[in-house]
Amino acid sequence: MRVLVTGATGYVGSRVAARLTARGEAVTGSARSPARAGALPAGVAPIVLDFNEPAAWREAASEVSAVIHTAFASHDADWGRAVKAEREIIKGLIEGLAGSGGTLIVSNGTAFLGDSGQGRLAETTPVAQTHPAAARAAATAQVRGPEATGMRAIELRLASFVYGHGGSVFLPKLLAAARRDGRSIYVGDGEARTSTLHVDAAADAYLAAFDRGRAGAIYHIAAEEEPSVRDIAEAVALAAGGLPTVSVNLEEAARALDPFTAWFLTLNNCLDASLARRELGWTPGDQPSLTVDVVKGSSAAPR
């Protein structure tokens, strides 16, 4: 089968592309530039796709049997512009695959579902329409719209703390700030809890969805570990050389990190991933927990 993996030079996408290639799929991987294409996994054919040219993404999708979409324009700089590009890209991918009987898997997080409190967020939890990230939820929801006909379209929502092999969105920021400031911070009482996910387990989930996912389904993908932000701060403190762990307010955290990361440290974001276990047969596997990985594993090495 010919498969396009977007973001195939990225943290998650590169591992998805490598796994597909290893089992014999013909994989094309997108990169943002010819220079970045050199970072594609071995055996992955390159294609350069610009976030500002949705027509090119539509054409690329029309030439394959399946698309696994892990690319995103930005995690910080201009959120509004990034989400607008995301919406047009997914629209193009749908148009390219419409009526083909092919597969489209898109990616998202769950911040737009609000605070999980003492429970867990399920796939049926409604989007908080006033949340700043609700626009991205609307972008990926296109795969469940009337335009996504004649295809198998699926949305994976990953735990926000994806980690492993020295990567993550949040952990490098927390470690860098701790080493710079001589302390590891958390916000308030530090009791907010979050789901976690090793990047290898994330890649396994994409393949499970590719093989067994149900058309129109949303699957939450998360391991069982749900550390508090204080637990994470204490692990970061140890990894950074035994620094003190300090509670700060939201404004101070925003100055030390950035406003989005600071806000995220106040949010309970625990996911119910039982549907993926039942329908996909997916499990997080035998991976080190986030806190162990931070202290003793790949994230502990200075950068």
Question: What is the chain's mean pLDDT, rounded?
Answer: 93
Residue 297 has pLDDT above 90, yes or no: no
Residue 132 has pLDDT above 90, yes or no: no
- Indicate which CATH number applies to the domain containing 167: 3.90.25
For the whole model, what pTM was predicted? 0.94
- State which residues form the domain around 66: 2-160+197-221
Domains in the chain, number = 2
pLDDT digits (tens, 9 = 90+) for 230-271: 999 999 999 999 999 999 999 999 999 999 899 989 999 999
Residue 303 has pLDDT above 50, yes or no: no
pLDDT, position 74: 66
What residues contact 114, with CB distance under 8 A and at least 6 apart? 121, 125, 128, 131
Strands 196-198 and 161-163, bridge-based pairing: parallel
Q: Do 249 and 104 fall into the same domain?
A: no
pLDDT, position 129: 92
Q: Do 185 and 99 fall into the same domain?
A: no
Q: Do 205 and 82 fall into the same domain?
A: yes
Residue range 49-65: mean pLDDT, rounded: 94
Q: If you write DSSP's letter for every residue of 205-263 in order, what string do you get? A: HHHHHHHHPPTT-EEEE--S---BHHHHHHHHHHHTTS--EEEE-HHHHHHHS-HHHHH
Residue 300 has pLDDT above 70, yes or no: no
Backbone phi, then psi, for 44, in 5-degree steps?
A: -95, 125
Q: Is residue 274 assigned to a domain?
A: no
> What is the C-alpha to C-alpha distance for residues 67 and 60, in angstroms, rounded to an integer?
9
Residue range 156-179: mean pLDDT, rounded: 92
> What is the C-alpha to C-alpha distance for residues 19 and 22, in angstroms, rounded to an integer?
5
Q: Do 262 and 243 fall into the same domain?
A: yes
Q: Do 28 and 153 fall into the same domain?
A: yes
How far does Cα 45 stand from its chain's mean position? 23
> What is the C-alpha to C-alpha distance for residues 27 and 146, in angstroms, rounded to an integer?
28
The answer to whether 293 touches 299, Cβ cutoff 8 Å, is yes
How many CB atoms sit inside 10 A of residue 87's CB? 18
